[in-house]
Amino acid sequence: MSYEFSTTRTGKFPIGFRRFGGWQKELVPLIAWAKENRFGAIDLGRDGDTTSAPVIAAGLKIGSVDLLEWQGLISPDAAKRAAAVEKNTAFIEACAKAGARNFFVVMLPENQALPRPENFVYMVDGFSKLVPVLEKTGTHIVIEGWPGPGALCCTPETLRAFFEKVPSKSMGVNYDPSHLLRMGIDPLRFLREFVSRVHHVHAKDTEFLPERQYELGSEQPPTFTPGIKWGGAHWRYTLPGHGVVRWSDTFKILADAGYKGCVSVELEDMNFNGTEDTEKTGLILSRSYLEGC
């Protein structure tokens, strides 16, 4: 069964959202709500082996599924890396059989205290061993550059180096400009460089707060000033359109490159997260904005 879902104006990419907990925990009513509000895709978590089939059967697309085991693939212990490869291989096969094609991951090492070049070696070893199952199933790893504790592949430097070491086209990017902006990386330049590797997109924006930047700078945490939920000292994540991302330009680059994936709203905004009603409002407002980009 098919139905008419929302797309971006530029590129006609299906608009979806990343699934969280709370009111989104129960899948059947979530699918119904998504369809009622013309969303075309849902990003799933580590339960993708059981949730992918119902989503596809309902006429929705799957933007991505969270890879089952992340940090074990970047462990200094070779036995742990091997175990993570085995678990992820079985998970990828099960999800692919159900119809999923993208496996979301942040390159978070098991031991963030180790030197970054050392963790990079473990990462290359662990993820290179997933290439056979990814190529066999026609699926992709999509790496998000959230700069969490010790995270790798967040910047052009490390992402470029990773693709040189693991050149398989099964290794790709989950493009999320909000993280690039908070790090001071030009998101459009990044997209132009890595667009051939982009298989999924998160629609999340970043707003900069000049008064807080004057008060707090960017090199130290605040001493007395309260923090910002879903943000840092002088920036915060927002709905698309409430920050500085140039979404129409983003979609033009993707369309020119032949991108065929989804654009999924990742709702992290202090003005909307917290209750079912406000989160639903945030998702609907995001969808409406992206329809015009």
Q: What is the pLDDT of residues 90-103, one digit of tens each?
A: 999 999 999 999 99
Q: Are 149 and 112 in contact (CB under 8 A)?
A: yes
| Alpha helix ranges (H) inside 138-271 | 156-165, 177-183, 187-194, 210-216, 247-256
pLDDT tens across 36-58, in order? 999 999 999 999 999 999 999 99
Q: Can you give the residue ranges of every domain in the chain?
A: 15-291
pLDDT of residue 176: 98
Element (H, E) at 42: strand 41-44
Collapse the DSSP code of 208 into the 3-class scheme (helix H, G, I; strand E, B; otherwise coil) and give the result: strand
- pLDDT at position 1 over 80: no
Q: For tokens 């065929």, what's the residue? A: 260
CB 142, CB 200: distance < 8 Å: yes
pLDDT tier for residue 240 given thresholds of 50, 70 and 90 = very high
CB 30 within 8 A of CB 24: yes
**Domain at 15-291: CATH code:** 3.20.20.150
Q: What is residue 4's predicted lDDT score, i.e. its pLDDT?
A: 85
Spatial separation of the C-alpha atoms in residues 11 and 266, rounded to whole Å = 19
Which residues have a Cβ under 8 Å from the Cβ of 255 and sit 6 or more positions away?
A: 10, 11, 13
